[in-house]
Structure 1
């Protein structure tokens, strides 16, 4: 749920080229070329141009920041963390780099480092919605849902019309089984941004919890219609199809999701459920045990393990 928007630094104004080219002009020109490649959806070429700028000046903040963002988008999290850390070594109060490094640490599973960055951000900008939002995201990953919810509520104090924060708040209410509160937050988010696919994904999950599998399928189709590239939408659709008796169609979606992210434990769990209903229960058990080792609290796993033991 924590899909974040990235802001590339752009040089404003015109670079005036003198007869004698200087380093500021050259590194700025490489930055602009990198930005152009990014607009053309060529992130690797963008990285190369940002690197050219950094060969002129290893501590060039704009080059480090932009390259770090592209690394982050490509899930090269260690590389992104290094770039943001160079900025922070020069200026520990750089809130842009601090926020993005915190997100990278979180996505890399380094939750305590992410939490430290979020605490520093709160110290520097206690009245900025993003400071509280990052804290909430990290606490959510650490499964401290009440504190995470409190952080999202604090974030909304400073930016009440932020659909992204509202969706994350709705997600926490969902985890806490507070479905009416989750729906209320989603209603607000949908008014602000009706084209956000995560709204309909979460509505599908609420419908699934209510055992309304047809409605769950309708909602997830809305998500896929808006964003047909998001792997976890297909994983959810695969689960709903299994519960509607369309086992092989469900497996097709789950396998598609796993190709995008082979470590997705929810997809592995859903594959186990598929094999359970195909009466290939030894295969199902292997998948369930794999998930159980890595996430003992995941929904549905213990339920199916109990069914297996009763048979």
Structure 2
């Protein structure tokens, strides 16, 4: 018995355009601006994250197609997505943002799982991720629990925008990291660095500060920024050896205008932080860079 199409459709929307599961769990073409997904790799995993992202170990997006998940129950998938616990009971490194998902709406969690079940199975054996022992011990201190929100919970206005912002992981990238940890006193103020082939990228300040953030952006400006990358009328140009970005614009561009507006409304409520960020600094000598195999 197959899940209702409406459930799969909702899961497709969330996994590709809001929570963007497919961003980390597919291969990306870093020769193009924003690293669009390589055709034929949707959900197959293998994307590498390590020193290029300032992480303590080496991590790979897992294969989420039915080829790899055929022996996983829905509950086991739910545990991994919302509690950070794998089928074997292993604790997942929080690069997988389960701490964002543990209060996901029940229907949304079910929709994502239904969508994953609908993907074309792709045989792709992904290397095991490696986490240093001290970090593995620290994982035990994180909350590994599921507290899904009831579908009857009120999600409207700013509260709905906050929910979407959490699912989209905006703070995860738009908050500076020190020793791999988010600087919690300045969420959304930008500054997280990523090494690219052409230089170092730093995430932008998206707090409502008018001088250094997006305080002067109108709601229409915010929505238009995303919709400019909508694949129906946007083709990612070659990145060359200069500027590129890890922001998956072509995925987030698929969000509905109303959802983007809700995120904007929420971001207007966060604390404005006066922090000027140099978004890109070119460099010809970047060792561990996105798009280049990582050294040990």
Give the helix-richer structure, 1 or 2: 1
Give the strand-richer structure, 1 or 2: 2
Bigger Cα Rg: 1
TM-score by structure 1 length? Answer: 0.27
TM-score by structure 2 length? Answer: 0.28
Higher relative contact order (CA 8 A, sep 6+): 2
